Structure 1
Amino acid sequence: MARIKPQALLQQSKKKKGPARISVSTIILFSLIVVLAVFFLHSTYRYWSQRSRIQIEDKESVFKGDDSFLDSKKSDLPGYAVLETAKGSITVELFKDSSPEVVDQFLDLCQRGHFNGMLFRHVIKHYVIQAGDSDKLGAAEDWTSKGKNYNRLYTSLKHEAFMLGTSKTKHDNGAFEIFITTAPIPDLNEKLTVFGKIVKGEDIVQEIEEVDTDEHYRPKSSIAIRRVTLKQSI
C-alpha cells in the first residue's frame, strides 16, 4: 500500500477544515446595529403616536372651548325680568334653556323699551291676562268656554298658573304679546310658547285680574307695564 506523502496530508487537512469562526467583535457590532434599529423604530412609533394623541386632544379642547364659550355666553344673559306696573312689580324667571329663541327676542325688545307703556288689553278672570300691541283678543278668544268647564283638580307642570308665554301666532309687524296665566290651562302648550314663570308678585297678577272688564274682557280702567328691568339674579 502506497504511503501518502506529508505534503499531501497537509493539503487534505486544509480541505477538511470547517468554515472560519465569526469573531466576537463582529457579533458585538451586529448586536449594536440590531439594538439601534429597534430603538429607532420604537422612538419613531412613540413620536407619531404622541403626535396623533396631541392632535386629538387639541381638537377636543377646541370643541370644549366652543361649548364653554356658548355656555358662558348663555350664562351672561339676564335670567330675570321685572315688570313694573301701576299695581306693583312682577318678577319673572326666564327659561333661557327651554325657550332660547323667544327669550332672546323678549330680551331684545326689553332693551329697546318695547314694553314701556304697553297696556294689559284683556283680562279673563281666573284664567289669563294679556298685554300686547293688538287690541284683538287673539289666542285667548277660545279659551274662556274651555276654562269654565275645566276640572281644576287635573293639573300638571305644563298646565300651571303664573306662567309667562307669548302667542304661537306669527306677527308680520313684529308685535309681541305677553300672556300670564292665572289658573291651570289644559292646552297651554298648544296656545302659547311658555318662556318664563312668575316667581314674585303673584298677588299683583291676581290684583290685575280682579279689575272690572267689559263684555270683550277689556279692562275699564287702563293698566300698563311702565317698564321692564332685566336682572342676572334676584
Structure 2
Amino acid sequence: MARIKPQALLQQSKRKKGPSRISAASIIFYALVLVLVGFFLLATYRHWSNRSRLQLENNSTVSDEGDNSFPDSKKSELPEYAVLNTSKGSIIVELYKESAPEAVDEFIDLCQKGHFKGMLFQRVIKHYVIQAGDGQGTGAADWNLRGKQPTSMKHEAFMLGTSKGKHTNKGFDLFITTAPIPDLNEKLIVFGQVVRGEDVVQEIEEVDTDEHYTPKISIGILDVTLKQKI
C-alpha cells in the first residue's frame, strides 16, 4: 500500500473540518448594519407620511377658501373694536359687523383714510345723544327733542350709530346715545356699542352748550384706532 504524503494528509484534514466560526466583531458589524437599515426605512416612511398629510391639509385649506359656503370667512378678518381717542379720553366700541355689515365696512374704510381725525362733537344733548360730525343732513337737530318723552327701554344707552341715508364724503357722522331711545332704529343705523369709556361719554355729555346744543368749548376725536382684540 502506497504511503500518503504528509501534504496530502494536511489537505484531507482541512476538508473534514466543519465550517469556521463567525467572530464576535462580525456579528456586531452585521447587527449595526441591520439597525441602520431599519432606521433608514423608518425615517423614509415618516417623511413620506408627513408629506402626504401636509398635502391633504393644504388641499383642504384651498378648498375652504374657494368655497362660497363660508361667506363669513372674510368678515372674521375685520377688526372687532374701534378706539375713539378724544380730547376727553378714550372710548372703546365693539363693532356690530354681523347686524350692520355695510355701515361697519364704511366706518372701517373711513378710519383707515383718517376721516374721523380731528372731527368735532357738534351736538351734545344731555340725557340723549352726542354727535360728532359736520352737523349737516339728518342729525340731532332734526329730531323732535324738546317734546320727547321716552316711554320704552327697548334701546340702550351708549349705542354707536350714524345717520340714515346715503353718505357723502363728509356725511358719515357719529352718534353715541347717552340714554335709551325708543325710536333709535328710525333715526340711526346702529353699528356698535360702547364697551369701555362710558365715563368719557358722560363727561362730554356734561359740557356747557348753547341754544343749538353746540358745545361752548371744542371737543373732538383725535384719531380712531382699529383693534381685533382689547
TM-score by length of 2: 0.68
Q: Find the counterpart in structure 2 of residue 65 from structure 1.
A: 67
Q: Find the counterpart in structure 1 of residue 150 from structure 2.
A: 150
Answer yes or no: is the 8 Å Cα contact 1:122–1:137 preserved in 2: no
SS in 2 for 1:71: coil
147, 165, 168: which one aligns with 1:169: 165
Greater Cα radius of gyration, structure 1 or 2: 1
Deviation at 1:63, TM superposition (A): 9.7
Could you tell me how far apart the structure 2 residues matched to 1:74 and 1:138 are?
29
Check 1:125–1:66 CA distance in 2 against 1; reply closer, same or farther (3 A cut).
same
203, 208, 212: which one aligns with 1:207: 203
Alignment of 1:9-88 (within 5 A): 65-68=67-70, 70-88=71-89
Check 1:63–1:88 CA distance in 2 against 1; reply closer, same or farther (3 A cut).
closer
Deviations 1:129-164 (A, max 9, x none): 0001x24484322241243x223xx312xx111000
Percent of residue pairs identical: 65
Residue type matched to 2:140 in 1? A
Could you tell me how far apart the structure 1 residues matched to 2:190 and 2:173 are?
12
Q: Find the counterpart in structure 1 of residue 111 from structure 2.
A: 110
Answer 1 or 2: which has greater helix percent.
1
Check 1:200–1:63 CA distance in 2 against 1; reply closer, same or farther (3 A cut).
closer
Alignment of 1:180-195 (within 5 A): 180-195=176-191
Residue type matched to 2:108 in 1? L
TM-score by length of 1: 0.67
Could you tell me how far apart the structure 1 residues matched to 2:144 and 2:129 are?
9
Answer yes or no: is the 8 Å Cα contact 1:117–1:225 preserved in 2: yes
What are the ranges of 5 or more consecutive residues in structure 2 without an aligned counterpart?
1-62
Check 1:76–1:62 CA distance in 2 against 1; reply closer, same or farther (3 A cut).
closer
Runs of 4+ in structure 1 off by over 6 angstroms are 61-64
What are the ranges of 5 or more consecutive residues in structure 1 without an aligned counterpart?
1-60
SS in 2 for 1:72: coil
Q: Find the counterpart in structure 1 of residue 26 from structure 2.
A: none
- Matched length: 168
- RMSD value over aligned CA atoms? 2.0
Could you tell me how far apart the structure 2 residues matched to 1:118 and 1:72 are?
32
Residue type matched to 2:69 in 1? D
Deviation at 1:85, TM superposition (A): 0.6
Could you tell me how far apart the structure 1 residues matched to 2:81 and 2:136 are?
28
Deviation at 1:186, TM superposition (A): 1.3
